[in-house]
Chain A
């Protein structure tokens, strides 16, 4: 990553937000019933990790959406920069042989 921002959100171009005593922002990840990966579902504010998990239960699992919750304080998330969009992912563009459909296998060889 050529440029990693310390916070997931850039400060706005408007006047800088005044410093305040707010509960920090947490990003919430939830794993559903069926063994899939944890998935980002949204964010919330909480004073500490314990409260973040409890609030996540109330806000994001009211209808049995999950069986496992991860809470990560937003300022700890490193993110790629949107301006890299093209060049950053460019190495994947030219490697078509990474996809199985690149190879023609004759029908006679059976299912593969």
Chain B
């Protein structure tokens, strides 16, 4: 997902406090910033919310790539609004992480140095305009699948950020599907582009949910803490069940011959993505890892004088006001 393979921290604290904390979570109580919480809960959340925030920010890059080349002025305005929303999502999430005692710049620096990760999906390139359709439809669609249950997560600021984000997400998915409909019903060349985009984004979208449950070692604690609401495989299956009929409606073919309705399970059968590829991308060897990180570093470095200038100006103004009083 936007947060993949989050390692949850073991916690060694006063068993009485831990039990009381778990009881609050089991009672669906929200944990707020100043409440006592196990160190492991705090650390795991910083890692998870931070990675989620980084994904929103880095996720602007593959779509930003097409803003200047959108086919119409209206498409351009829509894409711009969508990318701007993602910046907002990053902000909401950084603020939620900050309530746990990390600073915004610390998180940013950990992204820029490669110490913290962002979702594997954003390390794939966006080669044609149809990719804007596939990204909105599949990538935002997969994100929604994960973010909707997270509105009920146990940490108050994270849950509230998710409520805001979910309100804005469905526009993203629908604008993507709208692009796909246009392309799939267009000329044969356009239809080919739409099919090609689906071919390239299908498995990377499935990987967004993280490794198969049998290989996800850290889920149990996170699920007990209600900072992970569903298992990876549950969400992946849900995503496939929702998406296959949508592809059929477009007249496109999911690039997996194993995709077939299973009358017994009442779900679609499908093939697992290539997990070696997934782990390789996570390690930094995806097609765009270097480019993405370089772009974020450049933006941060180029913006330094602006941040410093505003701060110096604000301090000078404050000093002048003090002197006048």
Contacts and interface: CB of A to CB of B under 8 A. Distances in A.
Contact of B32 (A11, A21, A22, A82): A82
Given A20-B103, A21-B308, A23-B307, A9 B34 contact: yes
Given A42-B164, A47-B310, A82-B35, A12 B95 contact: no
A82 B42 contact: no
A84 to B, nearest CB: 11
A17 B106 contact: yes
Interface in B14-38: 32-36
Interface of A: 5, 8-14, 17-18, 20-23, 25, 41-45, 47-48, 51, 58-59, 62-63, 79, 81-82
B95 to A, nearest CB: 5
Contact of A62 (B33, B85, B104, B311): B85
Contact of A23 (B106, B311, B318): B311
B35 A48 contact: no
A42 B101 contact: no
Given A44-B95, A62-B85, A12 B314 contact: no
Please classify the interface of chain B as helix (H, G, I), strand (E, B), loop, or mixed, using the class held by over half of its residues: helix
Nearest to A10: B34
B101 A11 contact: yes
Contacts of A10: 33-34, 101
B181 interface: no
B98 A9 contact: yes
Given A44-B91, A44-B95, A48-B317, A22 B101 contact: no
A109 B170 CA distance: 52
Contacts of A59: 88, 91-92
Interface residues of B, number: 36
A26 B164 CA distance: 18
- Of the listed residues B42, B98, B101, B168, the one surrounded by the most CB atoms of chain A closer than 10 A to its CB is B101
- Of the listed residues A17, A18, A81, the one surrounded by the most CB atoms of chain B closer than 10 A to its CB is A17
Interface of B: 32-36, 39, 42-43, 81, 84-85, 88, 91-92, 95, 98-106, 160-161, 164, 168, 307-308, 310-311, 313-314, 317-318
A13 B42 contact: yes
21 contacts: A9-B98, A9-B99, A9-B101, A10-B101, A12-B42, A13-B42, A14-B42, A14-B101, A17-B102, A18-B106, A20-B106, A22-B105, A44-B95, A48-B313, A48-B314, A59-B88, A59-B92, A79-B34, A82-B34, A82-B35, A82-B36
B95 A43 contact: yes
- Of the listed residues B33, B35, B91, the one surrounded by the most CB atoms of chain A closer than 10 A to its CB is B91
Nearest to B81: A62
A14 to B, nearest CB: 7
B184 to A, nearest CB: 29
A9 B92 CA distance: 16
